[in-house]
Amino acid sequence: MSKPYVTLLGKAVRYITRLRGGGSALPGLFVEKIDPDFIKRTLSTLPQGVVVISGTNGKTTTTKMVVELLESQGLKVFTNRTGSNFTRGVAAALLGEVDNKGVIDADIAILELDEAHAVSFVKNVPPRYSLLLNVMRDQLDRFGEIDATAKMLAIIAKSTTETVVLNREDPRVAAIAGVLTYQKINYFGLSPKLAHLFPNDDEMRGKSAQTGKRQTLQAGVVLESLKEGVASFTMDGHSVSTALKLQGIYNVYNAAAALALAGVIVGETMDKEKLVAALAEITPAFGRGETVVIGGQPLELVLVKNPSGFRLSLSSFKPEGYATMIAINDNYADGRDMSWLWDVEFDSLKEAGVAEVTGMRAYDMALRLQYDEVLISHVEPDLTEALRHFITSNADSPKRIFCTYTSMLALRRELSKMTEVEVIS
Amino acid sequence: MNIYGDWGNVLVLKRRLEWHGYTVNLLEYNQGDKFPDNVDLVIGGGGQDSGQDNIQTDLLSISTKLHDLANDDVPMLMICGLYQLFGKFFKASDGHTIEGIGLLDIETHAGPERLIGNITTKSSEFGEIIGYENHSGLTFLGQGVQPLGHVIKGAGNNGQDDTEGARYRNVVASYLHGSLLPKNPHLADFLVEKAIIKKYGEFIPTVIDDRFADLAREAALKRPR
């Protein structure tokens, strides 16, 4: 079957499945079966090569940030925008951009990849640069152990041909430098004053923090402070400060990662002014802190995938003045073992209480809240009913929903059916 | 060791004791610490296989202490990694053996694949026990222990003999996460009761509203493996 024919077929499949509403990779599967070499061949046409971003938390948001920072420098960027970070999702995204001859109009590809899928991807397509964000307890029912996840990230690093950017403050990620033989290494890091906001999984009720040792590594970008929405970074010795639209300390630390990677890619020709201007405008990615307006009140969706992510979300977004809903599913993409809820503290929700608890495992969540003595107004496992009830019972209040991945997809579908919803970010 | 949310077990015991009107002194024991006196309840969790190597020496150094407590009928809950190390040994996939404290008559061998998923077991003492397992170790029970329960859905100790966990005096050991105690309040109450009666001679419990636990159990039972 000749190549242009494959591209057209794939595009037709993509068009038909576009209605599914996010996270679709069926067209990619289709191309994968007919033309397995498609990804490698298409990406090899890019002058500045391929960049892979991986890790437990923050992939989608950081990828989006890197894309916007690079675009501010005039680069044409291809990315797997819809957050479908399995190999199939990359193929699907490529189909959407490729012309009928199989060429993409881009300078560079920035790809967010799930850790397990990245391993086979990089063997097929070695990236020029990679950014490894963190290793956390997440979906252990898929990966089995944190060390196994760290090993996957090490494989990505070893397959990288030029520079690897590592999180200095995550011991397992920083340790990857030790297995690299020829690649350049760059770090992003935190000021010691902020380190206490990011406990890693060992520190959570276990060994005490070991930040002192890591601080001696020189980091290309360091997040120095975040006060009232203004972030300060040290970037290659220079101080960079800007107000941000991004909220939450973990998002701002992801921005440090994005700055480090952008710096490595663009190098000396970096236009700092345009970079900072772009940084100031960045908003969270799909499903990671979107806000809609419904009935004149903002409703925020906050994705929670693992204990550290949930903890950071709770400390980043103060509950006062908001009606809070929590939606917990246990599908494959959400994590099937409910143990993870017990590694999150919910005391911060005691004063305001929780208005609504929903999802397939609503009662596991309610049970969790009971043991932290947090009062709950309503529990309803059915997401559609719970959402309606949450909105009507809290009509005069700004609202926030903490949700796992598939519950977020379901909630977004429900919200899009409500004609009175306006998406603002 | 706390990788798989076993903090839930500690929290549940602490909270239920508080709801019953007791003040709880929660002591953490880490490698190298002095083992505390006046221990009423001992809880241990799971960890990565690499964690097991790390704590082995230290655990052996407090072995006598733990044996004394167990034989004195102090209630204990041991999950996953510590369940294994309370046994005679754990034989890893590369052949090296990690010696356990031999408190439980069990032995564990690394298996070829992880046994992962929702699990339900039936226990004559505690009724249905509901949780989530995630282990590659295959544990086999000797004569000196009883199983905690028999597998209704899932793999259990080794996926072959239908047993799950182990029971010895007031020691309860299991592979179940979820965490184990939140959705299995009968088990939590057993440990609480044993601890209180041993210390104070009698236990007059408060009534705790376990409806969320009941509803969470119902929902969990409907979930696929």
Q: pLDDT tens for residues A10-22?
A: 666 665 555 444 4
Interface test with A, best of B1, B6, B7, B225 (most A CBs within 10 A): B7
Active-site position among B80, B96, B150, B186: B80
Contact state of B213 with A330 under an 8 Å Cβ cutoff: no
Hey, is the C-beta of A202 within 8 angstroms of any chain B C-beta? no
Q: Of the ranges B10-14, B41-45, B77-81, which one carries the lowest mean pLDDT score?
A: B41-45
Residue A4 or A256, more confident: A256
Task: Please tell me the predicted confidence (pLDDT) of residue A213.
Answer: 53
Return the bridge partners of B127, or none. Answer: B123
Structure token digits, residue A126:
């070695």
Name the strand (E) or helix (H) holding B190. Answer: helix B185-200
Q: Are A251 and A223 in contact (CB under 8 A)?
A: no
pLDDT band at A354 (very low <50, low <70, confident <90, very high): very high
User: Does A255 have pLDDT greater than 60?
Assistant: yes
Q: Of the ranges A107-111, A334-338, B86-90, which one carries the lowest mean pLDDT score?
A: A334-338
Task: Please tell me the predicted confidence (pLDDT) of residue A142.
Answer: 58
Average pLDDT of the segment spanning A237-241 = 92
In chain A, residues with a C-beta closer than 8 Å to the C-beta of B15 are 371
Q: How far is A391 from chain B (nearest CA, A)?
A: 23
Hey, is the C-beta of B15 within 8 angstroms of any chain A C-beta? yes
Q: Are B89 and B95 in contact (CB under 8 A)?
A: no
Q: How far is A371 from chain B (nearest CA, A)?
A: 7
pLDDT band at A168 (very low <50, low <70, confident <90, very high): very high
Domain ranges for chain A, please list them: 3-281, 291-423
Interface of B with A in 149-178 (CB under 8 A): 177-178
Average pLDDT of the segment spanning A354-370 = 98
Out of B132, B212, B219, closest to residue A339 by CB: B132
Name the strand (E) or helix (H) holding B221. Answer: helix B211-221
In chain B, residues with a C-beta closer than 8 Å to the C-beta of A337 are 4-5, 132, 134, 177-178
The per-residue pLDDT of chain A, averaged, comes to 85
User: Does A54 have pLDDT greater than 90?
Assistant: yes
Catalytic residue check, B67: no
pLDDT band at A425 (very low <50, low <70, confident <90, very high): very low
Average pLDDT of the segment spanning A66-94 = 84
Structure token digits, residue A73:
């420098």
In chain B, residues with a C-beta closer than 8 Å to the C-beta of A204 are 2
Structure token digits, residue A402:
């903490």
Q: How far is A149 from chain B (nearest CA, A)?
A: 12
Catalytic residue check, B109: no
Per cent of chain B over pLDDT 90 is 79
Return the bridge partners of A293, or none. Answer: A298, A422
- Of A93, A90, A25, whose CA–CA distance to A333 is shortest? A25
Q: What's the Cα-to-Cα distance from A359 to each of A411, A415, B86, rounded to whole Å? A: 10, 16, 37
Average pLDDT of the segment spanning A416-422 = 71
B225 vs B133: CA distance, rounded Å: 10
Out of A201, A341, A367, closest to residue B212 by CB: A367
Q: What is the pLDDT of residues A178-196, one digit of tens each?
A: 999 999 999 999 998 887 7
Task: Please tell me the predicted confidence (pLDDT) of residue A21.
Answer: 44
Residue B25 or A22, more confident: B25
Q: What is the pLDDT of residues A20-49, one digit of tens each?
A: 444 455 666 666 666 668 888 889 989 999
Active-site position among B109, B135, B150, B177: B177
Interface test with A, best of B1, B2, B9, B214 (most A CBs within 10 A): B2
Say whether the peptide bond before residue B179 is cis (omega within 30 degrees of 0).
Answer: yes
Which CATH entry fits the domain spanning A3-281: 3.40.50.1370, 3.40.1190.10, 3.40.50.720, 3.20.20.80? 3.40.1190.10
DSSP one-letter code for B215:
H
User: Does A83 have pLDDT greater than 70?
Assistant: no
The per-residue pLDDT of chain B, averaged, comes to 92
Task: Please tell me the predicted confidence (pLDDT) of residue A148.
Answer: 85
Out of B132, B212, B220, closest to residue A366 by CB: B212
Q: Are B87 and B104 in contact (CB under 8 A)?
A: yes
Q: Are B159 and B179 in contact (CB under 8 A)?
A: no
3-state secondary structure chain A: CCHHHHHHHHHHHHHHHHHHCCCCCHHHHHHHHHCCCHHHHHHCCCCCCEEEEECCCCHHHHHHHHHHHHHHCCCCEEECCCCCCCHHHHHHHHHHHCCCCCCCCCCEEEEECCHHHHHHHHHHCCCCEEEECCCCCCCHHHHCCHHHHHHHHHHHHHHCCCEEEEECCCHHHHHHHHHCCCCEEEEEEECCCCHHHCCCCCCCCCCCCCHHHHHCCCCCEEEEEEECCEEEEEECCEEEEEECCCCCHHHHHHHHHHHHHHHHHHHHHCCHHHHHHHHHHCCCCCCCCCEEEECCEEEEEEECCCHHHHHHHHHHCCCCCCEEEEECCCCHHHCCCHHHHHHCCCHHHCCCCECEEECCCHHHHHHHHHHCCCCECCECCCHHHHHHHHHHHCCCCCEEEEECHHHHHHHHHHHHHCCCEEECC
Contact state of A146 with B48 under an 8 Å Cβ cutoff: yes
Q: In chain B, where do the E strands start and end?
A: 42-44, 76-79, 89-91, 97-99, 106-123, 127-141, 149-153, 163-164, 166-168, 171-174
CB pairs under 8 A between A and B: 103
User: Does A141 have pLDDT greater than 80?
Assistant: no
Task: Please tell me the predicted confidence (pLDDT) of residue A214.
Answer: 57
The CATH code belonging to domain A291-423 is 3.90.190.20
A95 vs A90: CA distance, rounded Å: 9
Residue A259 or A413, more confident: A259
Q: Of the ranges A135-139, A206-210, A294-298, B94-98, which one carries the lowest mean pLDDT score?
A: A206-210
Average pLDDT of the segment spanning B85-108 = 95
Task: Please tell me the predicted confidence (pLDDT) of residue A207.
Answer: 45
Q: How far is A382 from chain B (nearest CA, A)?
A: 12
In chain B, residues with a C-beta closer than 8 Å to the C-beta of A307 are 5
Residue A126 or A147, more confident: A126
Domain ranges for chain B, please list them: 7-221
pLDDT band at A116 (very low <50, low <70, confident <90, very high): confident
Report helix, strand or coil for B142: coil
Contact state of B134 with A206 under an 8 Å Cβ cutoff: no
User: Does A283 have pLDDT greater than 80?
Assistant: no
User: Does A103 have pLDDT greater than 70?
Assistant: yes
Count of CB atoms situated within 10 Å of the CB of B135: 26
Per cent of chain A over pLDDT 90 is 54
Interface of A with B in 136-195 (CB under 8 A): 137, 140-141, 144-147
The CATH code belonging to domain B7-221 is 3.40.50.880
Does this model's pTM top 0.80?
no
User: Does A242 have pLDDT greater than 50?
Assistant: yes
pLDDT band at A202 (very low <50, low <70, confident <90, very high): low
Residue B27 or A372, more confident: A372
Q: What is the pLDDT of residues B118-144, one digit of tens each?
A: 999 999 999 999 999 999 999 999 999
pLDDT band at A138 (very low <50, low <70, confident <90, very high): low
B190 vs B209: CA distance, rounded Å: 16
In chain B, residues with a C-beta closer than 8 Å to the C-beta of A362 are 219
User: Does B215 have pLDDT greater than 50?
Assistant: yes
Residue A29 or A164, more confident: A164
User: Does A231 have pLDDT greater than 80?
Assistant: yes
Task: Please tell me the predicted confidence (pLDDT) of residue A19.
Answer: 44
